Amino acid sequence: DAKTTQPPSMDCAEGRAANLPCNHSTISGNEYVYWYRQIHSQGPQYIIHGLKNNETNEMASLIITEDRKSSTLILPHATLRDTAVYYCIVSKGYNYGQNFVFGPGTRLSVLP
């Protein structure tokens, strides 16, 4: 079973920030939080990952709470092309013998 819970769906207006929450209350100290997204009929696309600190890249920002029990993926200026299913995954990474377990994710719809 996935170690994360996400809302099944969210809407966001084009141009506004999309804030996607993820709960991972049983996360262990050496597990990372990964975010991927899957646009219809394509393979998942890596977005960002983090351990403790907040992270930012050209696609998004990841905010992890101090107790690491939840996180938020922020798409700062959502576009129609950001409509996708977003998956939050907790894992040590295969380097430590742990595979990815995908939950149902959050279906984000960016509205014009």
Partner 1 sequence: GAVVSQHPSWVICKSGTSVKIECRSLDFQATTMFWYRQFPKQSLMLMATSNEGSKATYEQGVEKDKFLINHASLTLSTLTVTSAHPEDSSFYICSAWDRRGSYEQYFGPGTRLTVT
Closest separation in Å from C-beta 82 to partner 1: 17
Closest separation in Å from C-beta 33 to partner 1: 11
How many residues lie near partner 1 (CB under 8 A)?
A: 24
Q: Find out whether 89 and 102 touch, Cβ atoms under 8 Å.
A: yes
| Among 10-18, 62-70, 73-81, 95-103, the segment contacting partner 1 (CB under 8 A) | 95-103
100 binds partner 1 (CB under 8 A): yes
Q: Which two tokens stand for residue 73?
A: 């993926």
Q: Is 61 exposed, middle or buried (0-12, 13-18, 19+ CB in 10 A)?
A: middle
Q: Is 17 or 101 the residue whose CB approaches partner 1 more closely? A: 101
Q: Which two tokens stand for residue 72?
A: 């938020």
Find the Cα–Cα–Cα–Cα dihedral 5, 85, 51, 53, rounded to 10°.
-100
Q: Is 21 or 92 the residue whose CB approaches partner 1 more closely? A: 92
30 binds partner 1 (CB under 8 A): no
Residue closest to 104 by CA, chosen among 89, 82, 83: 89
Q: Which residue ranges make up the site for partner 1 (CB under 8 A)?
A: 32, 34, 36, 38, 41-46, 49, 87, 91-95, 99-105
